[in-house]
Amino acid sequence: MAKIAKRRDAVDNILDQWRRERPDLDVSPMGPIGRFKRCAVLLQRRVDATFAEFGLMAWEFDMLATLRRSGKPYRMAPTALFSALMVTSGTMTHRLQRLEANGLVQRLPNSEDARSMLVQLTPKGLALIDRAVEAHVENERAILAALSPAELLGLDRSLSELLAALDGPDITT
């Protein structure tokens, strides 16, 4: 059975250059890291294009999706929301104001704590995120269609292991 040649990519060219210039250095880790970085850029472009079809930026999709995933009544405290999204409270305030001005979320008094507010999807926001997430999932499915089910499963497992290692305690400090 003939072996199929791997299609070369831009990272292969970079690795070749380093191997030529620094044959004493094992640059093999640059391969997967460079490909992760390039894939991330290309994936973000495709994801952003789908969000743009709904008049959304990635951060808007993330906020609306986080509220939607929280379940009925699609409401969260701002602190829980910015913790889930890993942004600062100042960033969250600005973003909430923009989503509120567009009628996608509303702030409501917190019945359990009179000093705080809750953020909730409006009917308009709920309808928008439901349509956008359907298109997003189909876009991701199309992006991943280049891989066989077995390749996709292997990639997902490997990325899960890498993510667990990167999310783990920092042993360098």
Closest CA to 75 of 133, 136, 116, 115: 116
Q: Which residues span the domain enclosing 95?
A: 34-140
What pLDDT is attached to residue 113?
A: 77
For residue 9, the SS3 value is coil
> Is there a domain that residue 123 lies in?
yes
> CB pairs under 8 A, 24+ apart, for 145-154?
none
Token pair recorded at residue 56: 């959304």
Task: Work out the number of other CB atoms within 10 angstroms of the CB of residue 163.
Answer: 10
Handedness of CA 143, 127, 65, 37 (dihedral sign): positive
Q: How many domains does the chain divide into?
A: 1
Distance CA 110, CA 79 (A): 13
Q: What are phi and psi of 119, to 5 degrees?
A: -110, 130
Residue 157's pLDDT is 96
Token pair belonging to 38: 């390039």
Q: What is the pLDDT of residues 10-56, one digit of tens each?
A: 999 999 999 999 999 999 999 999 999 999 999 999 999 999 999 99
pTM above 0.85, yes or no: no
Query: CATH code at 115?
Result: 1.10.10.10
- Give the pLDDT score at 112: 80
Return the DSSP state at 147: S
Per-residue model confidence (pLDDT) at position 83: 81
